Chain A
Amino acid sequence: MKVVLRNPRREIEVAGPVKVSVLLDRLEINPESVLVIRGDTLAARDEDLSDDDVVEIRPVMSGGAA
């Protein structure tokens, strides 16, 4: 499947099927810090992602110190 990462934007290929939680674990991404988006909706951590999917892993952390 195609996985879109951000900051900076880049794409990687990951073999499916795989659960969201396993994908994040493999990529060493803290699930608290991202959303996983498939199409126009979100995928919860136990969701199965298939080889044909295009998913975006979107960071949610933002903010200056003010």
Chain B
Amino acid sequence: MKCRRCRGHAVIDVRRHNAAFCAECFDHHCLEQVRRAIDQFDMIGSDDRLLVAVSGGKDSLMVWDALVRLGYQADGLYLGLGIGEYSDESGGFARRFAEERGLRLIEIDLRQQYGYDIPAGSRAAKRAPCSACGLSKRHLFNAAALEGGYDAVVTGHNLDDEAAVLFGNVMRWEEGYLGRQYPVLPAGPGFVRKVKPLVRLGERETAAYCVLRGIDYVLDECPMAVGNKHLGYKEILNDMEARSPGSKAAFLFGFIERAHGRFAGDAEEERDDLGACTQCGAPTPGDVCAFCRLVERAGGAMPSGSSPVELRRKAG
């Protein structure tokens, strides 16, 4: 198999593009896809300060690496979730990546700073672990970005992640979620902008980028995610992709280009109607936000310094 770009020896095939690449041209392909996603969805300005949500996995380390190589100013934020050896190991990969490149990695430890961890918190709050984890991440990444004066939070969500989320939302016709599913979510009162620069790359490509760049990442799957619906949707979509290459991209980008607008209006209205949490100041439809309720049920507490007045001021 020959590289599509230079006709050298190919090391990876990307059937979606009916192409194969040598290591050097694959690296070029990945950076080009990140650049095109940023341009296509007007994600990031050249002077923006970015906060990358870093898990120690392939996607977050790839997006951090790619953004720095493309000249963006990007710090990382790692959340210690307290998921046993998995968290210890993933934190190690995130720290080593940052140290080796002289990048700034901010760390928040849920147990030390908020008095709970994901296993205990999800049990206490009677939430699925992935739900408690996602809620904690969304809240804390947003709050940290507002606190630190960052212009945007960057996540490593890739084409497979987004296609699987879309599949789940379509299966249940979750109109609100469909309205909010887009590669960039603009800033609003209490919300920092959120961007997904890997949306044009599949997770096989993000993993390959890391292998070929010598980026070590956590290989084990999160023990709390094993068997969840999201991974099941990915398996279904991969079966379709194997039979018909390009299916996932057609599904996701068809939605973005032709269907998202039909759901977006309601989602924007919902966002505009949010008030401020009486405890932390974060946007919420009720008096107390879901994150503060989770912390309370899990027996934790908000750390000092995150006063509602402060967060509201930064949010507004």
Chain A residues close to B by CB (< 8 Å):
6-7, 30-35, 37, 40-47, 58-66
Contact = CB atoms under 8 A, between A and B. Distances in A.
Given A45-B1, A66-B137, A60 B207 contact: yes
A64 B208 CA distance: 20
Contacts of B221: 7, 59, 61-62
Contacts of B241: 32
A42 B211 contact: yes
B228 A65 contact: yes
Contact of A64 (B206, B219, B220, B224): B224
Contact of A60 (B204, B229, B230): B204
Contacts of B222: 62, 64
A64 B224 CA distance: 8
A58 B12 CA distance: 14
B20 interface: yes
A63 B207 CA distance: 13
Given A33-B238, A64-B133, A65-B134, A42 B208 contact: yes
B193 interface: no
Nearest to A37: B211
Main secondary structure of the interface of B (DSSP, over half): helix
A28 to B, nearest CB: 12
Contacts of A58: 207, 211, 219
B135 interface: yes
B23 interface: yes
A44 B1 contact: yes
Contacts of A6: 219
B20 to A, nearest CB: 6
B12 A63 contact: no
Given A42-B11, A43-B11, A64-B134, A30 B208 contact: no
A62 B210 CA distance: 14
A62 B20 CA distance: 23
Contacts of B128: 65
B197 to A, nearest CB: 17
A61 B211 CA distance: 15
A61 B12 contact: no
A31 B161 CA distance: 17
Contacts of B165: 65
A32 B238 contact: yes
A63 to B, nearest CB: 6
B131 to A, nearest CB: 7
B109 to A, nearest CB: 19
B235 interface: yes
B22 to A, nearest CB: 10
B230 A35 contact: no
Nearest to A34: B204
Given A35-B208, A41-B11, A44-B10, A66 B203 contact: no
Q: Which 10 A-B pairs have the closest CB atoms?
A: A66-B134, A64-B130, A65-B130, A60-B207, A65-B230, A42-B11, A32-B238, A64-B225, A46-B1, A44-B1
Contacts of A34: 204
B12 A66 contact: no
Interface in B171-224: 202-204, 206-208, 211-212, 214, 219-222, 224
